Structure 1
């Protein structure tokens, strides 16, 4: 039947000014193939004709320009407006057409009459729930009354208040009305594709049994569910923790969001025919994200303090959504596994131990303090010393948590630690063999169907979870053993000497196992075999700059043999600094920097740990206090020397375990990186990705869903993530410690004096010019012998250490990458120098004393003299 004032919603296109925002949205859903109950709309033309023929214009002008009613007269005003629309005359032609439309639906059962205003579901104003909806209409006469009441709701006092508050022009407003088959619902409700009050990574669903009008009216309390957008993991409350259709509903919602290009507020119903979408509109009430928050940052709550120290080497820089969603859960689990192993299972319950702010990784310092204090003999002060390199200055009324355990509890805790640590070396060996087996599998990923590719990735990931736990456990054991060695030596020689001798006793023992130095030595062996006696290769490395491959290839067989071995070696290195992150063979600049540095020097770091131990023993034996203590205790065999040697061996063992676990994790990360590349290539081919690199902007779960055929996130969201990533990178490092929003933290004054004090990380003195580096990429500007001044480093910076003359960093502790590699290479290094990158400028001459921790600025010293 052809209508003058009605239009079927069949997905053929409709204009919001004619059918209203809600009906226009439904028509788009129909066009896109979504399950929408059959519907026809009484258009805005019908409303205009009714108002004109009934002579309601003067009444509406009065409402438009008159004062709003006081709060206690809202109900009376609403009744007055509705009465005007109900008693106004309506032409027989219009009335008959409305009842005819209703008559098309009524034989199948009751119908729904829904308002669809031309000023509805806009970007900044939704009018959600303010216009009338009538359910269960059973006759054509009831339908006509319901349509007139929907028209009246355009001018209800509540709506007029809302329009004036939002500065919405009321000229030309109209109301269309949707006539729709009633959904025979077993469950109904609303779904927000982004939780308006919660995490941007979650969806929110509210559901009630039967019709959804009970939810809208507030007559019943809904069952609430939060669904993670990437994994579709469901958390719920109420009598039923999970409904079997929720996952399908979530996927449907994400598809609607993607087509609409914005987060959606969706009304839905579960019927015998399956899920039905009753309406969808943009979400207009959501918590704004910071300009550098891509939706994956932590929402800090309470008074917990966070620090990037101690985690920025594991998850360096601004971590992309993909790498964060892969690594953060594994690191969180690793810390909790460690806590459980040493008897601290309750600390941090309900709180994240690993956070992300401005795209950068952090640790929950408050939770770590509590964990330490719950251990016999532990304290929050020791945690600050380990992670920050010093104890913070707290307010006078603040007391750091500390253990109050007695001697028996301390003994039991020591036994638990011994149990947790004694198998670490064996675990590391097992991990190394397992990783070797994985990376040497000859699998052509291109030939794997999607399901098998994802299962292969799961096998790799399962091993990565285990390695993360081993690395964190090894790091904890190494820190404890290293600190015990410092304290033991300090008992006889003082605190400063304790620090210095702990460095010396462990220096040179990690040349093969440390992540950075071990890789350097593998390349050095290749260099020694191919380049030392081949002047042409040496010249190509020195003159070839960051890209000498073409020059080396031109040398013929000797060059090609050298390149083959380098390429094979580099492929085995895996990821540069973060699991599943960039690999060494993605960007060979660092590798060529290492090899060209070998061509400029012939020195290798020496293992001096045994000589250092012998020197320390001689020093102690010559001490009158040491000899006196042995005499009065009657020791025939000096057990203190045995203990000192055992403590040195233990610290070295756990340091090696940590480095080897880290190295294994990065090697395995290279295998997962290959899977990521394969998935990216497939998603580009399928049209899910415009370019392969965009995969970094998706979460791990989103990538998996796309590989399985799901829709990608909508384009605007992807661009927002890209802009947030760039802004986070430009915002620079996080404060040392902060609570809540890091942007509000007090950064303090930039030092201007001639001497800057830090932590003495590697002994020696060097005088040279500074090179301030804000990123690894800037390292190509580093000249031989210059002093690196940076915020922090990670294993990918190791090639620069071969070129540098000294190291000055704003972050780092005794077991940080910079400290270990500097000691291995014999570079003077001072860490924890506050605001060094802000105070020092490139080209400025410095004296770096890695023994005392002083950084002297020559030009400023001259001015002060």
Structure 2
């Protein structure tokens, strides 16, 4: 009944129908709101608001003020007045009531509108009730409500307001209760805030309440923290409320203040909260009150929208489990489309089968594979319980996504994950088959002793992979799906064990030099060695894009023709073939080689650059704004390579001071580092080539399904799974399924907080006390990624597509993948929330010689665009001149 009665009333009706204790009352439906305001002139406000963005607060507030005036000035229809009068009198003679707003866009599963509209307490008399009803209607148009709807993408003309009128609970104590811990995510903890008097004191934040945490499984009270109780809100005789400031004597009555709830009341509340949660099937944010007779009442329930979803299937074994967010480890904060997840499940199953794991259904993913919030998670409980796993895996993440490594180590002392696997035999049993099948030891030895032959082997692997990704042009739809399953489930993983051992050898050789030279080789000096690396496909791509811009810059007529146009307009011109000839041909050549790449490119559902070159043209436009005479990326790259060669010579000279053997070993080791470290990007590059081939086949199948009207458009196929596609090919129409999944996907795109690790009880270990540690005022701390010091304005960018980055600005991003790196060429520095010293963004930043700090918690929310910050890439810090300059 949400359209008729709004979120609050619908939830109260649910609670009452479930036999839960809800105060009696009635609801004035949205039909009354629309009837009363049909001639008020709100249509003009709707039209005006549709042209205003969430950032234009002044205009939003002006339109909101206009809407409130129209509502308050409108006459209350006679039939509405009579209906309210009759319903109120049926409650009794001048019964004190609460008059509460209930909007249709309120208390939804994806957005909590708590506090957006108004509530009026202790209203007495029918005239007062009618006045409160009108003021509730007007509160649909408060500044905060209008701004919130705009920011969440809800159309203003689609919302309406119902009004709930309930008997007041003359409460001795009241408050709020969360049936799951909203801070840590623990699903078995009930959190209660309570204060004497009306619950408005707690809900509005006017008081520091008593705080209780209860283990709902055991009924044990885990935590009791007494509030200061400086304020109490009380009903007044005859209507209205008063805010009473209490003295210390009023608050305590003696030297030992007592909790405002007894243990029995706390446990009764927790039990009631579980009943509410069981009814809805999801954790709830409730409001409650206890009257003078000790009776417990529920006055509200709504979903806890801030909790991160739990994994989509239960752990295969009983007990506690820990799940690692693999999406974040890949630098991906956004959700994946359903087909993107389906593709990853097949690839993960291929990896697991190669490692001798049992995979009953490859389309469902291997047993350790999970999904939560449309992102990829892996159960790494076995890692935590393995002695060798604790040594190896966190060290890998130290250089891949450092903050995840910190969270992992924080679980080592948790008794639920104590070490039970003390030998390496289980690991060897799963690694050995992969190493044997793909001749990993042979690759390592070839790289060490015959490096030229190793590079030729890489070239053969690349050529062979491209052949395996090919699909016959005349294949049927069913054959195309079979090829999709073959590429993802068999072929694409081969690039990893065939190529990755060489860059691993390169970085191992760098570590060997550190061991050989000790204090004679500093961290910064070794980082210089891996700047300007050859054989890096991402660097080559970025330089090719710079060449594209350079070609255009040399044609003044082309520059003039493209000036002042948006990236989207330029993309339309490219599709029409009307860009200046130099730009048209250069972009076509670039996309012929790199068009398979994309932002968030591990997701099959994301358009490739060849599908939509808007992002690339936006980057080119950024390059064209650079002033002539600035050092070009090519010059920067060549300079970095020279500095690396000079540093190698110095390190070899120091080694010679120890012995000729030391010198030979250091020279050979650093040669292998320079040859092979840049190859770290190649396995993913090849993986994305395979994904692009798969995407092309899926779009062909999508076109066939769209032509037969089973789906609306070819791109809809990315909101299906392979099983869904086969059902559609058999005749099923899937329009409704696709619409629901698109809505869920776009809802998940709004989520800003993404946990690195989840436990099976919903706990986010990073959110528990002490996860972040103390930071100096005005300073954020992360992992050093690229040495150097730069002070410049920050530019916070959440999505590189269409992003505007002025030359020299410091790029602040949640994470980066190759789709972001063209921005690096003009960035003065880099700050990332995710990543480690050897994550993709860190490597590219070093190669371009820009200071970078990665793994900085909450960087995109604590740093603001335009704010001057200092990035110290060696110390791993980001600071402001003003100690209070970073947002809390």
TM-score range, shorter chain: 0.5 to 0.7
TM-score with structure 2 setting the length: 0.54
CA drift at 1:855: 0.8
Residue in structure 1 matched with residue 637 of structure 2 by the alignment: 606
Cα deviation 1:232-288 (Å, max 9, x = unaligned) = xxxxxxxxxxxxxxxxxxxxxxxxxxxxxxxxxxxxxxxxxxxxxxxxxxxx99987
Determine whether 1:449 maps to 2:476: yes
1:603 and 1:721, CA in 2 relative to 1: closer, same or farther beyond 3 A?
Answer: closer
1:525 is matched with 547
Structure 1 residues 380 and 491, CA, compared in 2 at 3 Å: closer, same or farther?
same
Distance 1:728 1:781, change over 3 A: same
- Sort the Cα spacing of 1:553 and 1:518 in 2 relative to 1 into closer, same or farther, 3 A: closer
Q: How does 1:339-418 map to 2 (within 5 A)?
A: 339=355, 352-368=367-383, 373=388, 379=392, 381-389=394-402, 390-391=405-406, 392-394=409-411, 396=413, 418=441
Q: Which residue of 1 aligns with 2:833?
A: 810
Quote the residue 1:673 is aligned against. Answer: 695
Aligned residue number for residue 346 of structure 2: 329
Instruction: Map 1:645-660 onto structure 2 (within 5 A).
Output: 645-660=667-682
Select which of 310, 316, 321 maps to 1:304: 321
Gapped runs of 5+ residues in structure 1?
A: 1-283, 342-349, 631-637
Output the TM-score relative to the length of structure 1. 0.55
Aligned to 2:668, what secondary structure does the other structure show? helix
1:567 paired with 2:594, answer no
Separation in 2 of the partners of 1:404 and 1:440?
A: 43
The question of whether the paired residues in 2 share the 8 Å contact of 1:513 and 1:660 is answered with yes
Task: Tell me the equivalent position of 1:500.
Answer: 524
1:470 is aligned, of 470, 478, 495, to 495
Tell me the equivalent position of 1:545.
Answer: 566
Separation in structure 1 between the aligned mates of residue 501 and residue 571 of structure 2, nearest angstrom: 46
Q: Does 1:738 align with 2:762?
A: no
Contact 2:387 2:419 in 1 (8 A): no
1:320 match: 337
Give the 3 Å change call, closer, same or farther, for CA 680–310 of structure 1 in structure 2: closer
Task: Report the alpha carbon displacement of residue 657 of structure 1 after superposing the two structures with TM.
Answer: 3.6
Does structure 1 residue 430 correspond to structure 2 residue 445?
no
8 Å contact kept, 1:487–1:498: no
In 2 relative to 1, CA 686–309 (structure 1 residues): closer, same or farther, beyond 3 Å? closer
Q: Choose from 473, 483, 489 the match for 2:514.
A: 489
Q: 1:311 to 1:656 in 2, by over 3 A?
A: farther
Q: Deviation at 1:617?
A: 4.3
CA contact (8 A) 2:711 2:734 kept: no
Q: How does 1:672-821 map to 2 (within 5 A)?
A: 672-707=694-729, 709-712=730-733, 715=736, 717-740=737-760, 744-747=764-767, 753-777=777-801, 780-821=803-844
Change (3 A) 1:726 1:643: same
1:584 to 590, 593, 609: 609
- Please list every run of 5 or more consecutive structure 2 residues that lacks an aligned counterpart in the other structure: 1-277, 284-302, 358-364, 447-453
Greater C-alpha Rg = 1
Q: Is the CA contact 1:575–1:583 (under 8 Å) kept in the aligned structure 2?
A: yes
Instruction: Report the equivalent of 1:853.
Output: 876
| 1:806–1:829 CA contact under 8 A, matched in 2 | yes
Instruction: Indicate how the Cα distance of structure 1 residues 521 and 553 shifts in structure 2: closer, same or farther if over 3 A, else same.
Output: same
For residues 811 and 684 of structure 1, what CA distance do their matches in structure 2 show?
A: 39
Q: CA, structure 1 residues 764+485, in 2 after alignment: closer, same or farther (shift >3 Å)?
A: same
Q: What is the Cα deviation at residue 508 of structure 1?
A: 1.0
Deviation at residue 819 of structure 1 after TM alignment: 0.9
Which digits, 9 at most, give the CA deviation of each residue in 1:623-648, with x for residues without a partner? 8xx73x53xxxxxxx22233223333
CA contact (8 A) 2:852 2:872 kept: yes
CA distance in 2, matches of 1:594, 1:373: 45
Alpha-carbon distance in 1 for matches of 2:750, 2:725: 26
Q: Would the aligned equivalents of 1:293 and 1:725 in 2 still touch at CA under 8 Å?
A: no
**3-state DSSP of counterpart to 1:808:** strand
* Correspondences of 1:42-191 after superposition (within 5 Å): none
Q: Quick one: which of 859, 864, 867 aligns to 1:844?
A: 867
CA–CA distance in 1 between the matches of 2:711 and 2:682? 36
Aligned length: 545
Give distance in 1, aligned partners of 2:575 and 2:346: 47
| Shift of residue 790, structure 1, vs aligned partner | 1.8
Taking the aligned partners of 2:651 and 2:507, their CA distance within structure 1 comes to: 20
Aligned pair in 2 of structure 1 residues 486, 554: CA closer, same or farther (>3 Å)?
Answer: closer
State whether residues 759 and 830 of structure 1, in contact with CA within 8 Å, keep that contact through their aligned partners in structure 2: yes
The 1:453/1:334 distance shift into structure 2, 3 A limit, reads closer
| Structure-2 change in CA distance of 1:702 and 1:403 (3 Å) | same
- Aligned partners of 2:504 and 2:327: how far apart in 1? 11
Measure how far apart 1:689 and its partner are: 0.9
Deviations 1:311-367 (A, max 9, x none): 642766311111111122213433663x569xxxxxxxx973443221112343334
Q: Deviations over 1:497-519 (max 9, x none)?
A: 55433422222114x5333x222
State the superposition RMSD in angstroms. 4.4
